Chains A and B, each alone.
Chain A
Amino acid sequence: MTRARRFFGVLAIGCGLLGPLGSGSARAGEEDDLQRQIDTQKASVADLERLDELKAVTDEIARLKSWLDEAWGLRAKHEYDQVREVLDRALKQEDLIRAQITVSKLRDQEQRREAALKLTKEKIAHTRKQLQETTDKKKSLEKAAQ
């Protein structure tokens, strides 16, 4: 057996002995990290519910919640890759929800603007009618005053 062979043999044995120890430590850190991510996203859900004043995206929020619950369950089963996948999806879902909340608020604003415009147009029509009536009355009075 050469010295090189002996070195690689020892390294292999060392890796074989230390590998499980290192792997267990990394897994604990990853689990904590995923838990923090899940907690962070759950906290965001509360923010989203508060932002959704018009209750326009309750289904999407419910779905997000279910995914976070799913992630939590997967984390408990140590299915970290799936947890990450679900969290990634939840993150995108959160973006979607924010975008849809913005849309709902804009739509509400648009509807209010439309209503206001409609009201103003009605006022214009009413005022125009009043003006016409007043003009007619004025003509009538002018004739009477002559």
Chain B
Amino acid sequence: MRRVVSRVTLVAIAGALLAVGVGCATPPKPRELQALETLRATNQGKLPEVAKRAPDLMAEADRRQAAAHDNWQSNDLDESRTNALMAQIKLKTAIALYDQDQLKAEIQSLSGQQGQAEEELAGLGKDLASEQEKVALLQKLVDGRKSAEADKQRLSQEMSSEQQKAKVEQERLSQQLASEQKIGAAQLALRTADTVEAMHYAAQDYAAAGDLLAKAEAALKQGDYATAQTSADDAKKSADQAAAAAKPLYEKAEESSQNKARNEALARDAPGIPGAKVRIDPHGDLQRLVIVLPEMFSRRDPNIAPGHDMTLDAVANLLKKYPSYPVQVVGYTDNRGKSGELMAISAARAQAVYTALVERGVETKRLMVSGLGGEDPFVDNRSASGRAKNNRVEIVFLYH
């Protein structure tokens, strides 16, 4: 029983000692005080500056923190909390005032920087606007030049194209003109061939020329100038050949025809000469139209007897009317006298007529003068009248 009592006593004593120990130990730090210490630690770097800005608040905070700490140490937790809270408030207020100053300074600095930046921006904006204006002008200039260059190039191309077209058209026209000229030349050659009646005298070449000309004209209409020119050239060639071949034949025929007509005209006109007798003496190929001028001279006189001017005028006019004929002026006598004398007289008579005709405008080069004396009497010399008639001059037109 005593052992039980002593055990209970021991436990009671130990409990009492524990209670006393617990009661004497430092209590846990109040949350407010811990928060204050954390606040200080967080702002440790700037607290010296904060103290300069708000010394009273900082001093009060310090004082309150110290008190809170003491209160805590002395186990007066309520008072410790109260002081810690007040210290927090003072410290926070001091920090806030410090922050306000810092922020104001920063804002002022930022305002200054903003002003400078805006000034710089305005300057840059002005420079940029100026440069952009210059660039716009330059761009306009360059664009204008490019546009002008493009226009020039375009116009050049257009001009080149037009020139090309014009050249082609010119070439075409040139070809057309050349073709037309060649066709014209061929037509002319064909007409020329017509003038010598090549259709008759060179029918083959003429027909070929006509066909080729038709071919050339057809090719011209179709614009086939090469064929047109070739055909025209060939046509001309054929026409020329036809003309060349036909010409001598034609001329011969024509000359013959003309001569015939002229001879006929001469034969019609010659008898119109007063006092003259006309006859035609064919001598092989050569024809002779003889105009006899009888009784123009006295018996031995080489001079033309008066009263024959009309006859001489008519003869001169006839000679001039037919200028292409070579003409013989041949003097004659009757048969009485010596042959040499008669020859001289007849020649003198021919010369007298020649002179009279030349005086009337007849070309001398056409006239051939000769005297045949008493040869080839015109009429019989046995009668006086016959002899008078044989004293004569004959104007002989010679032709084929």
Chain A residues proximal to chain B, CB less than 8 Å:
85, 89, 92-93, 95-96, 99-100, 102-103, 106-107, 109-110, 113-114, 116-117, 120-121, 123-124, 127-128, 130-131, 134-135, 137-138, 141-142, 144-145
Contacts and interface: CB of A to CB of B under 8 A. Distances in A.
A133 to B, nearest CB: 9
Given A96-B89, A100-B96, A131 B124 contact: yes
Contacts of B97: 99
Interface of B: 82, 85-86, 89-90, 92-93, 96-97, 99-100, 103-104, 106-107, 110-111, 113-114, 117-118, 120-121, 124-125, 127-128, 131-132, 134-135, 138-139, 141-142, 145
B40 to A, nearest CB: 16
B30 to A, nearest CB: 15
B135 A96 contact: no
A31 to B, nearest CB: 22
A103 B142 contact: no
Nearest to A95: B93
Determine chain B's interface SS by DSSP, over half rule.
Answer: helix
A40 B103 CA distance: 31
A113 B138 contact: no
Contact of A93 (B89, B99, B118, B145): B89
B124 A127 contact: yes
Given A89-B85, A96-B93, A113 B145 contact: no
Contacts of A124: 117, 120-121, 124
Contacts of B121: 120, 123-124, 127
Contact of A102 (B100, B124, B132, B138): B100
A113 B111 contact: yes
14 contacts: A89-B89, A106-B104, A107-B99, A110-B106, A110-B110, A117-B110, A117-B113, A124-B124, A127-B128, A138-B131, A138-B134, A141-B138, A141-B139, A141-B142
Contact of A89 (B86, B114, B124): B86
Nearest to A107: B103
Contacts of B99: 103, 106-107
Question: 7 nearest interchain CB pairs?
Answer: A99-B96, A106-B103, A141-B138, A113-B110, A120-B117, A134-B131, A127-B124
